[in-house]
Structure 1
């Protein structure tokens, strides 16, 4: 199942929900500890984990894009800019498990947006796989299955605006 793409308070959003069989502390570590973050998103590095802090995206050519952290609530919320958009991770404890909700706020929609949405889908799959002590063999193949689905869903959502 792909993310739910809908309009919320005047902006298009893509909302992903994952019920994880892990405590919020473990999930939070994958979002904020650079050694774990690199396991599911190699190009990201947190520079300063605080509101107004920075996450760097390594463009692979010696350059970095700087993204501003817009919200941090330890083991509950991490939000940061993603080009002209904002992404937000929310964790809600449920005993020894947690609900992970990821929301992409799509203020600007480009031809690259469905690629990003498919990419975030795979990233969430990888986080869950790593938490479960497994590895994901072919991320690209999985991305290729989701990309056309996100293209289609985004086209429909934009047409419905």
Structure 2
């Protein structure tokens, strides 16, 4: 399911919505527990899981280099928001009759040529997260699928820029 992009006054809001047949507890665990988190987003590591806490974006290049990320909003089992460069990423989780609803919202200050790459990356990471919840672990990032979604997000970003 492709994300949506809405232009707001001073930025753009990208929203990925994923209905899941898993409990909020199960989804929260894959969002916040390092052993599970790193199976779908290998660069992220929780350091201090709380509002104004810290995460690391590990370069995973053998140098132990990382960027520190600030957690800007946190509500246990409901909200995890953090800085993403100049932008922000927010996960919201709610209970539904069938399991839960996961919404990833990225607030972007400016659409660039790199934006479709990031959006395709988030799209694939959410697919990996869903697979992990279903007991499927991927050994490698699926670049072929990423390329497919990159083309879709290039078109979507171009449409939004032309509106």
Give structure 1 regions of 4+ aligned residues with deviation exceeding 6 angstroms.
Answer: none
Q: Contact between 1:84 and 1:108, CA under 8 Å: does it hold in 2? A: no
Q: Which residue is equivalent to 1:53?
A: 53
Q: Contact between 2:10 and 2:109, CA under 8 Å: does it hold in 1? A: no
Q: Secondary structure at the match of 2:51?
A: coil
Q: Secondary structure at the match of 2:91?
A: strand
For residues 29 and 98 of structure 2, the distance between their equivalents in structure 1, rounded to whole angstroms, comes to 15
Deviations 1:56-81 (A, max 9, x none): 11122432111110101111110001
Deviations 1:80-127 (A, max 9, x none): 011111011000101450001111101133322111100000011111
19-28 or 149-158: which moved more? 149-158
RMSD of aligned alpha carbons: 1.5
Deviations 1:24-75 (A, max 9, x none): 0100001100110110011110110111111111122432111110101111
Q: Which residue is equivalent to 1:151?
A: 154
Inter-CA distance 38–80: structure 2 relative to 1 (3 Å threshold)? same
Q: Secondary structure at the match of 2:102?
A: strand
Inter-CA distance 138–33: structure 2 relative to 1 (3 Å threshold)? closer
Q: Contact between 1:38 and 1:44, CA under 8 Å: does it hold in 2? A: yes
Q: Contact between 2:11 and 2:110, CA under 8 Å: does it hold in 1? A: no
Q: Contact between 1:77 and 1:88, CA under 8 Å: does it hold in 2? A: yes
Q: Which residue is equivalent to 1:30?
A: 30
TM-score, scaled to structure 1? 0.93
1:134 aligns with one of 128, 133, 136: 136
Q: Which runs of structure 2 are paired with 1:105-124 in the superposition (5 Å)?
A: 105-124=107-126
Q: Which residue is equivalent to 1:17?
A: 17
TM-score, scaled to structure 2? 0.92
2:127 aligns with one of 125, 135, 143: 125
Q: Secondary structure at the match of 1:115?
A: helix
Structure 2 spans left out of the alignment, 5+ residues: none
Q: Which residue is equivalent to 2:3?
A: 3
Structure 1 spans left out of the alignment, 5+ residues: none
Inter-CA distance 65–17: structure 2 relative to 1 (3 Å threshold)? same
